[in-house]
Chains A and B, each alone.
Chain A
Amino acid sequence: MNEWVDVRGPSVEMAVSAGLEALDLASADDAEVEVLQEPTRGFLGMGGQDAVVRIRRKPAAPTNRNRSRRGGRGSGSSTAGHSSGRRSSTNKPDTAQPSRGRGGAPASQKQQSRPAQPKASQSRAEKPSRGGNAVTKRDDDDREEISPEDQAAEINRFLTGLLGAFGLDGEVTTRVEDDVIYADVTGEQTEALVGAKGTILQAVLELCRTIVQRKTMSGARIRLDIAGYTERRREALRIYTRRLAEKVLAEGGEVMLEPMNAADRKVVHDTVVDIDGVRSFSEGEEPHRSVIVAKEDD
């Protein structure tokens, strides 16, 4: 029952509320939420991204209304210091590995299907699917957990078929690293699948996600590159950052870049680190978090 669902939306709030709806939960208090990706407008207007949150019913919640202690871990700041914190890989839905839960609760119960009982479920009581109550969303009762490797294979198959349907020559490679699926479509003709500002690429990515999520509750994160577009974009960001850093070095002060997603911010930080005399840090709340490049005080 306690599978994680990844939900996208234009904002974190909207993604969360969609997720709550999907899980049949009344309020966010009943859920654990992990923000996988903040929404951004993208760098220089390119490739803005939706918010992605990973959400699930709070594990082992007692049936009463005053939601006692938070089911052990991962649900908020009160557990932040704990070793199996919110972002640790033990939160991954497809790993049945035990989390070193403190307290008495056996870690396994968080993964196990247990007979559904908590509140939001009664309305769907007619569906005794083995997935339990968190999976009562109309159309996904039969979805299983699939390893990232298998998801990658599925994406590979889909993308290869897509090239075929388009009649484009190209090659698809996929790999899994740290539970992230990297899909790379290469070949000169595959440029046709990038689109202005990567719009087609984004649509293809969306379909990859849809297809994976059709089969499994636990869609892994997917990074898609087509015809080297994503990498070129990243390189453009590096060049831009270097230019900016030089300007800061020459003129002093600090410069705030436009809001970016975490991946892009990392590109900026990684670039600035290699330049003597400047430093970078992020400021602001997601989704408007921005990198600031500043001259190192000496």
Chain B
Amino acid sequence: MKGEIVEKVVAYVTKEIVEDGDAVSVTIVEDGPDEVTAEVRAAKPDMGRVIGRRGRVAKAIRTIAQAAADEEGLQARVEFID
């Protein structure tokens, strides 16, 4: 499946950060032949953690997601969905 590593990595990292790991879901949407978007959902109270102060954590997750995408020759975006 396209974006499998991205999904795995983003889900792993997000679950590590939140309190309620069970509420985390990551959905991969194919945007194009080499592009995927990882849609991240988490429990409401956890969203702040996932984003982090001034978006620091979100930025780190995006960087890691792209690193994962590189493994598959993809471009990855990450959307944090409230």
| Chain A residues packing against B (C-beta within 8 Å) | 7-9, 18, 138-139, 158, 161-162, 164-167, 192-193, 195, 199-200, 202-204, 206-207, 210-211, 214
Question: Helix, strand, loop or mixed for chain A's interface?
Answer: helix
Query: Chain A residues with Cβ under 8 A from B49's Cβ?
Result: 139, 210, 214
8 additional A-B residue pairs with CB within 8 Å, beyond A162-B9, A166-B71, A210-B60: A158-B16, A161-B16, A166-B68, A167-B71, A192-B71, A199-B63, A202-B63, A214-B17
A92 to B71, CA, bound (A): 41
Is there contact, CB below 8 Å, between B12 and A161?
Answer: yes
A176 to chain B, nearest CB (A): 21
Is there contact, CB below 8 Å, between A211 and B64?
Answer: no
A161 to B14, CA, bound (A): 12
Write out, one digit per residue, whether chain B residues 11-32 have a CB within 8 A of any chain A CB (1) or not (0). 1110011000000000000000
A199 to chain B, nearest CB (A): 6
A69 to chain B, nearest CB (A): 32
B48 contacts A by Cβ under 8 Å: yes
A204 to B9, CA, bound (A): 12
B7 to chain A, nearest CB (A): 9
Is there contact, CB below 8 Å, between A210 and B52?
Answer: yes
B44 contacts A by Cβ under 8 Å: no
Is there contact, CB below 8 Å, between B67 and A195?
Answer: yes
Query: Chain A residues with Cβ under 8 A from B63's Cβ?
Result: 195, 199-200, 202-203
Is there contact, CB below 8 Å, between A207 and B60?
Answer: yes
* Docked complex: B50-74 residues within 8 A CB-CB of A: 52-54, 56-57, 59-61, 63-64, 67-68, 70-71
Query: Chain A residues with Cβ under 8 A from B59's Cβ?
Result: 203, 206
A7 to B53, CA, bound (A): 10
Nearest-CB residue, chain A, relative to B45: A139
A117 to chain B, nearest CB (A): 27
Using known A-B contacts A200-B63, A204-B64, determine if residue A162 contacts B13 with beta carbons closer than 8 Å.
yes
Nearest-CB residue, chain A, relative to B56: A206
The 8 A-B pairs of least Cβ separation, nearest first, read A203-B63, A203-B60, A165-B12, A206-B60, A165-B9, A165-B8, A200-B67, A207-B60
Query: Chain B residues with Cβ under 8 A from A164's Cβ?
Result: 12
Is there contact, CB below 8 Å, between A211 and B68?
Answer: no
Nearest-CB residue, chain B, relative to A210: B57
A16 to chain B, nearest CB (A): 13
